[in-house]
Structure 1
Amino acid sequence: MAAPRIILMYITEISGHHSATLAVENAIKTLNSNAKILNINAFNYTNPISEKVVNQIYMGVIKKIPQIWDYLYDNPSVAKKIEKIKASIHRFNSPKLKNLFDDFKPDAVACSQAFPCGMVADFKKHYRSGLPLVAILTDYVPHSYWLYDTVDYYVAPSQEVAKSLIKKGIPQERIKPLGIPIDPKFKTEVKRNEIRKEFNLAADKFTVLIMGGGQGLGPIKKIVKSLEGINHHIQEIIITGSNKKLYASLKTKIKKYKQSILLLKYSDSIHELMGISDLIITKPGGITTAEVLTKRLPMLIIHPIPGQEESNTDYLTGHNAAIRLDDPQEAGLVIKELLDNPQRLKYLAESARRLSRPDASLDIAKLLLNLAQQKNV
C-alpha cells in the first residue's frame, strides 16, 4: 500500500494554530512512520504579503480597539457580508493551490485555521474535488467563518462545540468531538523536585506560572505587583515571549520584590514548567488551555480579550476549571484565598482533568490516516 500523503495548513507562524498542526504531524509520524506530510503556512505559499498584513491588522485591533474584534468575531451577518471578498481571494489563490495539490497529490488535508480551510473548501467546490478535508477547531466556540459544505469532518474541542456546530447547520455525522491537538509531552508526568532544582526553584514553595502568550500580552506587571501584596511566600515563573519592553522592565523591578521570581523570555520546556507549577495565570488561547487542562493545572484568567478568549473563558469558568478576574490588582487576593482554601485548588485541578483530552492529537491523526486509506482503496 502506498504511503499516505497528508497536507496540514495554518496561516499564523508563531501561534497555537501552528502548534496544533505540528502536534498532529508528530502524531501521524508516531502511527505511520512512512507517511508523507506537508505542514505549510498557506499564506506563505499562496500570498506571502497577506500574512504580514493580516497579522499586523489583527494585533492592532486586539491591542487598541478590541471591541471591534468582539463585533467581527462569530458574527453571522459579518461573515455573510464578506463572502464575496473571501470568494475573490480564494479564486485568486486557486491556481497556486491547484499546483500544490497536483505536485504533492495529497490523500487528505487538515486545517487549523478558518481561512485556509475556506480556501481548500472553495477549491473543492470549484474543481469538484473529492479530496478529504478536515477542519480542526482550536477554540471553544465554532465561529461562522468555519462553515463550508465541502468540509468532510469538523474536529470539535468539546461536546458543547459539537452541539453548537449542529445548531449552525453542520450534520452530526460530520462532527468528531476529539479535542484540541497538543504535543504528547504534556501528558508526561514530570519529576517536580528534580525539575525545580534545575531551574533553581525551591522544592516546597507554592509556584505560580505567569504567561501572556507568544507576544507577552496582558497586564503582567500589574499581576506581579499584586502578588507582592500577599503574606504567603510563593515563587513565580514569568514568561514574557517576544515582549522585549516587558522583559526589560520586569528585570529591573523584580530585584526589589520579596517574592522569588524566575524571569524567562522563552522556554522550550513549557510542559515541564506547567508540571512543576501549582497554578497558572495566562491568556486563554485554545492550545494553551488544552495544555493546561492536560496538566490538571488550576487556572486564573485576567481580563480576556473579546472573541475567542472570552468564549474560552466562559467555557472554562462554566466547568469550574478556571477563575476569571477583570482587575489584575486582585490577583494576589485571589491566590491568597486559594492558598487558604486548598480544597478549592484541588477542585479546580479535578475539573481541569475532567475537561482534558490528552489523546486528541493521536485521535485526529487516526482520523486523517483512515481518510487517506479510504481514498486509496
Structure 2
Amino acid sequence: MRNKGPKIIILTASYGNGHLQVANSLYQECIRRGYDNVKICNLYTESHPFISEVTEKLYSKSFTYGKQFYKLFYYGTDFIQNKKMLRWYYQYGFKRLTSLIETEEPDILINTFPINAVPEFRRRTGIVIPTFNIITDYCLHSLWLHDDIDKYYVASNELKAKIHSRGVTESKVVVSGIPIRPSFSQSLDKSMLFDKYQISPKKDLILLIAGAHGVLKNIKETCETLLLKTDHQLAVVCGKNHSLRNEMAQLENKYRDRLHCFGYLERIDELYRIASVMVTKPGGITLTEATATGTPLILYMPVPGQEKENARFFSEKGAALTAKNQEELLNSIDSLLKSKQKQLSLQLSIKKLYLPSSQEMIMTDILKESEKISRMKNHSTIKSQKKKLGS
C-alpha cells in the first residue's frame, strides 16, 4: 500500500521540553492531514546518547548552579560570526543524519532546534532536501541561521526584522507564531474547570509553573509566605520533578483548601484559564501558551540566554512583569491582584501577541514551498541533462 503524503522528518533535541513539544505539534498536524510517513528524530540523543545525556543535565543545571557558564556559551556562540569557528557544532549529529537520510530518503526536513548538521549536509553533498527552521523563542540566536535553510518560521514581526538584518531575504521568513497544543485554542466553561479542580471561583488563584523539570526556584518558600500572608489560592505544577512534588505534599496537607499541587499535566491549559496570575520561567512555549489564554504573567528569575531575552520582549510589550528575586515576586503578585486594571492591561497586551493555528499555517506553507523547491530542482536537473546530451 502506497504511503500518503510526503516523507517528512522532524528533527528536535531534549534541551528543554519546548523543542519536543513543537515537534509533536507539527507531527500531530501531519497526522491530522492524513500523512502517514512522518517521523520525529531526537538527532543528538540518537547520535551521541552519552554526550547528550551529560549536556542535557548541564543545561538543566544552567537554571540553578551554572548560570554564568550558560551565559558564556549562549552569548559567546551568538557573537561568533565566523562559520569555521563553529565547524565543531556543524559536525555534531552529521553521521547519524547522513545515515537517516540514506535510509528514509525524506522529501522534507524540519528543525525545531538549531541543528546545523542539516543545512551542512546540503552544502557538503549538493543534495537538496527542502529544509525549514521553526524558531521556538521570541529572540534570535545566530545558530538558527544558515545559508542553506529554505525558510524560517518565527513568533513576531520583530524577530523577522532581526533575521532580515542578518542578511536573510524577507520572503524567507514567515511570522507564523510558535506551534502549541490544540487544546489551548478550545473554548471551555470556566465554572466547570473550577469544579473539576475543586478550586473556589471566589478567591484569586496564583498558578506557579515549575517547568517540565521543576526548575523554578524557591517554590516551597514562596508558597509558605503567600499562604501565611494572604488568603489567595495556589496551584503548583511540579512537572516531572518528583522530589519537588513530594516536598510540597506536607504543605498541601496543611493547606488542603488553598493549595493544590500537581505533577505533569497534559491539560495544563485548564489551569491557565482559571488563574488570576501565573508565575513561570520565560520559556518560548509557556509564553506562547499564555498568549492563547490571556493569562497575566510574572516571569520569575529569568536566567541569561533565551529566557532573559524572551522576558525582555514580553516586558517591553507590556505583556508580563519580571521579578528578579522573591521579594520582587511577592510585591508584584500583591500589586497585580489588588488592581483589576493592571490585570486587564496585561491580558490585553499578551493576547495581542497570540497567533492562532500556527502548526496549520506552517505545514501549509512548508508543503507549498517544498513543492516549489522540488520543481526548481527537477528543472535544473533536466536542463543539466539536456546540456550534456547537446555536448
Contact 1:5 / 1:372 at 8 angstroms: preserved in 2?
Answer: no
Alignment of 1:128-139 (within 5 A): 128-139=126-137
- CA distance 1:352–1:58, shift in 2 (3 Å): same
In the alignment, the residues of structure 2 paired with residue 13 and residue 29 of structure 1 have an alpha-carbon distance, to the nearest angstrom, of: 25
In the alignment, the residues of structure 1 paired with residue 206 and residue 126 of structure 2 have an alpha-carbon distance, to the nearest angstrom, of: 53
In the alignment, the residues of structure 1 paired with residue 107 and residue 118 of structure 2 have an alpha-carbon distance, to the nearest angstrom, of: 13
- Greater relative contact order structure (CA < 8 Å, 6+ sep): 1
In the alignment, the residues of structure 1 paired with residue 63 and residue 325 of structure 2 have an alpha-carbon distance, to the nearest angstrom, of: 18
SS of aligned partner of 2:347: helix
**In the alignment, does 2:147 pair up with 1:149?**
yes
| Per-residue deviation, residues 83-134 of structure 1 (Å, max 9, x unmatched) | 13224435xx33x3233223222221111111x2x01111111111211111
Residue identity (%): 23
2:381 equivalent in structure 1: none
- CA distance 1:45–1:254, shift in 2 (3 Å): closer
- CA distance 1:187–1:87, shift in 2 (3 Å): closer
In the alignment, the residues of structure 1 paired with residue 335 and residue 58 of structure 2 have an alpha-carbon distance, to the nearest angstrom, of: 40
Alignment of 1:171-210 (within 5 A): 171-210=169-208
Contact 2:151 / 2:174 at 8 angstroms: preserved in 1?
Answer: yes
2:386 equivalent in structure 1: none
**In the alignment, does 2:52 pair up with 1:51?**
yes
Unaligned runs of 5+ in 2: 376-391
Higher Cα Rg: structure 1 or 2? 2
The offset of 1:79, in angstroms, is: 6.2
In the alignment, the residues of structure 2 paired with residue 156 and residue 192 of structure 1 have an alpha-carbon distance, to the nearest angstrom, of: 31
In the alignment, the residues of structure 1 paired with residue 85 and residue 63 of structure 2 have an alpha-carbon distance, to the nearest angstrom, of: 20
Alignment of 1:55-66 (within 5 A): 55-66=56-67
**In the alignment, does 2:17 pair up with 1:15?**
yes
In the alignment, the residues of structure 2 paired with residue 285 and residue 130 of structure 1 have an alpha-carbon distance, to the nearest angstrom, of: 33
Match of 1:83 among 81, 86, 98: 86
1:67 equivalent in structure 2: 68
In the alignment, the residues of structure 2 paired with residue 14 and residue 77 of structure 1 have an alpha-carbon distance, to the nearest angstrom, of: 22
* Residue identity opposite 2:268 in structure 1: I
In the alignment, the residues of structure 2 paired with residue 310 and residue 339 of structure 1 have an alpha-carbon distance, to the nearest angstrom, of: 24
The offset of 1:82, in angstroms, is: 4.3
| Per-residue deviation, residues 327-365 of structure 1 (Å, max 9, x unmatched) | 223433322222221011011001111011122111111
Using the size of structure 1 for normalisation, the TM-score is 0.92
The offset of 1:13, in angstroms, is: 7.4
Contact 1:226 / 1:329 at 8 angstroms: preserved in 2?
Answer: no
Contact 1:210 / 1:282 at 8 angstroms: preserved in 2?
Answer: yes
The offset of 1:46, in angstroms, is: 2.5
In the alignment, the residues of structure 2 paired with residue 163 and residue 4 of structure 1 have an alpha-carbon distance, to the nearest angstrom, of: 31
In the alignment, the residues of structure 1 paired with residue 246 and residue 89 of structure 2 have an alpha-carbon distance, to the nearest angstrom, of: 41
In the alignment, the residues of structure 2 paired with residue 266 and residue 45 of structure 1 have an alpha-carbon distance, to the nearest angstrom, of: 25
Contact 2:154 / 2:178 at 8 angstroms: preserved in 1?
Answer: yes
Contact 1:192 / 1:275 at 8 angstroms: preserved in 2?
Answer: yes
| Per-residue deviation, residues 143-184 of structure 1 (Å, max 9, x unmatched) | 011121101111111111111111222221211111111111
In the alignment, the residues of structure 2 paired with residue 177 and residue 248 of structure 1 have an alpha-carbon distance, to the nearest angstrom, of: 42
SS of aligned partner of 2:158: helix
1:299 equivalent in structure 2: 297
Count of aligned positions: 370
Using the size of structure 2 for normalisation, the TM-score is 0.88
SS of aligned partner of 2:187: coil
* Residue identity opposite 2:17 in structure 1: S
* Residue identity opposite 1:180 in structure 2: I
| Per-residue deviation, residues 277-330 of structure 1 (Å, max 9, x unmatched) | 222111110011100111111001111111011001001110111001112234
CA RMSD across the alignment: 2.1
* Residue identity opposite 1:162 in structure 2: K
Q: Which moved more, 1:347-356 or 1:239-248?
A: 239-248
2:352 equivalent in structure 1: 354
**In the alignment, does 2:117 pair up with 1:106?**
no
In the alignment, the residues of structure 2 paired with residue 225 and residue 333 of structure 1 have an alpha-carbon distance, to the nearest angstrom, of: 15
Match of 2:236 among 231, 235, 238: 238
